[in-house]
């Protein structure tokens, strides 16, 4: 019997015996002697009866303890196993954007707020593998809202799965291949390509724009959650390789890798050292895949039905040996995409670039100054050679942010951001300010 159960039995036994002892203490010894001396017949104290009564109470007590053991085992069965961990985060954000109505007529320039709540479950079955499940909810996905407009103002923590709907947002399983720790395989019904990449491709930390993740979510790295799988190799010498597929048709009647399947196949070759990284990626996109809309003009993302695309991405970063100096970290990205099956003056080729500068630990430990800017994906060539709809635009997006931690679990990120000629018109110029607070537990 466990120590906890033994303590229960001991305490319960004391609770039963206490009233009996109390009754015994009330017996008048002198009166008992009178009973003994008396010649009258009287009912004597029967020790056998007393023992039987106490034994019955103890039996009842044992039954109750057995019931507690059953309930305890039920509670243990309903709790996490020793190999499952839970962590999470909550994000609060507020922003106001001047010029928002020029980008989207249903938008507002008033102050708006949003939240995102996330729970991460990680379970290992062998000690080397991992089953990952992400539960998420939030209210940022509002049409015309200040957190859900690609490319102009899509917040880096906006939840796109619904409004106030708690769902399984991501789920996949990763395991080593064979006995080698260098090769791993990943498969899951809800995953994005970039979770299976060979290496992190950027060290810039976006303060507001999701478009600036991974050196820009542009022609090659724009992703969408669907069924996927891939393999990855990470060597001791800094070289890494990955290839992975995400398919939207796998869960439907379209099927996996059919002509009707909208899918994306990414392959990366990377080299990473402590202070720098370089990588080249190939992205093959089938059946009008258009997830690069996070960082593109409207003309560049106008992909026609049944069109296919091939995109290339170059990424690099460098950081000084010591943080806290005037010399910033530098992350850069360049994408180019070529489309087949387009007609008229629709996009045939488009390109983009991004530059991110970061200063970590400038005023205190764990703070960060970030400046990000770049040109969203813009049409370089059309299918018929005529001028593209964004020919007269000079699209540009930027942000400046400062991140600091009041304590180990809270991060506050004030930011200002803006852009010019962002999506489809020369008068689409915006300027916004935001404050994001992140709680981690």
Segment 391-434, tens digit of pLDDT: 999 999 999 999 999 999 999 999 999 999 998 988 899 999 99
How many other C-beta atoms can be found within 10 angstroms of the C-beta atom of residue 15?
A: 10
* pLDDT reading at 53 higher than 50: yes
Q: Name the residue with tokens 């002198």.
A: 30
Q: Is 101 exposed, middle or buried (0-12, 13-18, 19+ CB in 10 A)?
A: middle
pLDDT, greater one: 192 or 107: 192
Q: Is 343 exposed, middle or buried (0-12, 13-18, 19+ CB in 10 A)?
A: exposed
Which whole number is the average pLDDT over 283-288? Answer: 94
pLDDT of residue 180: 85
Confidence of residue 60 (pLDDT cuts 50, 70, 90): low
Segment 194-231, tens digit of pLDDT: 999 999 999 999 999 999 999 999 999 988 999 999 99
pLDDT of residue 6: 44
Mean of the per-residue pLDDT values for the chain? 87
The partner residues of 435 in beta bridges, in order of sequence, read 94, 414
The partner residues of 161 in beta bridges, in order of sequence, read none
- Ranges of beta strands (E only) in 11-83 are none
Instruction: Give the list of residues 6+ apart from residue 276 with CB closer than 8 angstroms, or none.
Output: 316, 317, 318, 319
Cα gap 380→387, rounded to integer Å: 9
Per-residue tokens: 42? 């009287």
| Cβ atoms of 378 and 352 closer than 8 Å | yes
The number of residues in the chain equals: 441
Which whole number is the average pLDDT over 166-170? Answer: 96
pLDDT of residue 12: 40
For residue 151, is the peptide bond before it cis, meaning its omega torsion is within 30 degrees of 0? yes
Task: Find the range with the poorest average confidence among 72-76, 87-91, 190-194.
Answer: 72-76
How many other C-beta atoms can be found within 10 angstroms of the C-beta atom of residue 373?
A: 19
How far is CA 64 from each of CA 12, 269, 271, rounded to the nearest angstrom? 10, 64, 64
Rounded to the nearest 5 degrees, what angle is found at the Cα of 167, between the Cα atoms of 166 and 172? 145
Which whole number is the average pLDDT over 357-385? Answer: 96
pLDDT of residue 223: 86
| Cβ atoms of 82 and 426 closer than 8 Å | no
pLDDT, greater one: 82 or 169: 169
| Cβ atoms of 191 and 225 closer than 8 Å | yes
pLDDT of residue 83: 87
pLDDT of residue 179: 87
| Cβ atoms of 225 and 169 closer than 8 Å | yes
DSSP 330-381: EEEEEEEEEEES--TTSEEEEEEEEEEEEEETSSSTT-EEEEEEEEEEEEEE
Segment 2-34, tens digit of pLDDT: 433 444 334 444 444 444 334 444 444 444 444
* pLDDT reading at 242 higher than 50: yes
Segment 352-363, tens digit of pLDDT: 999 999 999 999
Which whole number is the average pLDDT over 305-331? Answer: 96
- To the nearest 10 degrees (0 to 180), the angle between helices 3-25 and 47-78 is 150
Confidence of residue 145 (pLDDT cuts 50, 70, 90): confident
Cα gap 275→278, rounded to integer Å: 11
Percent of the chain at pLDDT > 90 equals 73
Cα gap 220→336, rounded to integer Å: 8
Confidence of residue 48 (pLDDT cuts 50, 70, 90): low
Whether the pTM exceeds 0.85: the reply is no
pLDDT of residue 188: 98
| Cβ atoms of 375 and 296 closer than 8 Å | no
* pLDDT reading at 115 higher than 60: yes
| Cβ atoms of 211 and 294 closer than 8 Å | yes
Per-residue tokens: 184? 């791993």
pLDDT of residue 144: 77
3-state secondary structure 369-394: EEEEEEEEEEEEEECCCCCCCCCCCC
Segment 256-272, tens digit of pLDDT: 999 889 999 999 999 99
Confidence of residue 88 (pLDDT cuts 50, 70, 90): very high
Which whole number is the average pLDDT over 319-334? Answer: 96
* pLDDT reading at 49 higher than 60: no
β-bridge pairing 226-234 and 239-247: antiparallel
pLDDT of residue 143: 79
* pLDDT reading at 72 higher than 60: no
């Amino acid at each position: 019997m466990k120590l906890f159960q033994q303590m229960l039995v001991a305490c319960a036994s004391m609770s039963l015996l206490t009233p009996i002892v109390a009754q015994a203490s009330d017996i008048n010894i002198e009166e008992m002697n009178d009973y003994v001396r008396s010649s009258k017949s009287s009912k004597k104290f029967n020790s056998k009866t007393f023992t039987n009564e106490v034994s019955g109470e103890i039996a009842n007590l044992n039954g109750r303890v057995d019931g507690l053991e059953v309930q305890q085992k039920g509670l243990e069965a309903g709790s996490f196993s020793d190999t499952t961990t839970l962590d999470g985060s909550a994000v609060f954000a507020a922003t106001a954007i001047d010029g928002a109505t020029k980008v989207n007529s249903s938008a507002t320039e008033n102050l708006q707020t949003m939240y995102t709540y996330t729970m991460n479950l990680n379970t290992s079955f062998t000690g080397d593998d991992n089953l990952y499940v992400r539960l998420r909810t939030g209210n940022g996905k509002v049409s015309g809202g200040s957190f859900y407009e690609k490319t102009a103002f899509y917040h880096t923590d906006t939840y796109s799965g619904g409004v106030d709907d708690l769902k399984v947002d991501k789920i996949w399983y990763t395991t080593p291949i064979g006995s080698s720790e260098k090769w791993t395989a990943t498969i899951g019904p809800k995953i994005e390509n970039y979770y299976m990449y060979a290496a992190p491709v950027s060290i810039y930390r976006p303060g507001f724009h999701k478009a600036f993740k991974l050196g820009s979510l542009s022609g090659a790295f724009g992703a969408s959650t669907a069924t996927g799988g891939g393999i990855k190799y990470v060597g001791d010498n800094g070289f890494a390789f990955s290839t992975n597929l995400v398919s939207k048709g796998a869960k439907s009647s379209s099927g996996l890798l059919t002509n009707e399947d909208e899918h994306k196949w990414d392959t990366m070759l990377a080299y990473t050292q402590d202070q720098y990284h370089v990588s080249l990626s190939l992205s093959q996109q089938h059946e009008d895949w258009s997830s690069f809309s996070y960082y593109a003009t409207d003309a560049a993302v106008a992909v026609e039905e049944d069109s296919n695309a091939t995109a290339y991405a170059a990424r690099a970063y460098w950081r000084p040996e010591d943080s806290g100096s005037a010399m910033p970290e530098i992350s850069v990205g360049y994408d180019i995409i070529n489309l087949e099956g387009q007609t008229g003056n629709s996009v045939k080729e488009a390109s983009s670039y991004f530059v991110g500068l970061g200063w970590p630990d400038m005023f205190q430990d764990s703070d960060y100054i970030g400046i990000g800017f770049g040109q969203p994906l813009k049409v370089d060539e059309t299918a018929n050679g005529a001028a593209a709809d964004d020919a007269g635009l000079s699209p540009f997006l930027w942000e400046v942010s400062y991140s600091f931690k009041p304590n180990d679990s809270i991060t506050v990120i004030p930011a200002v951001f803006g852009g010019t000629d962002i999506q489809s018109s020369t008068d689409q110029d915006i300027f916004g300010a935001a404050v994001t607070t992140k709680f981690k537990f």
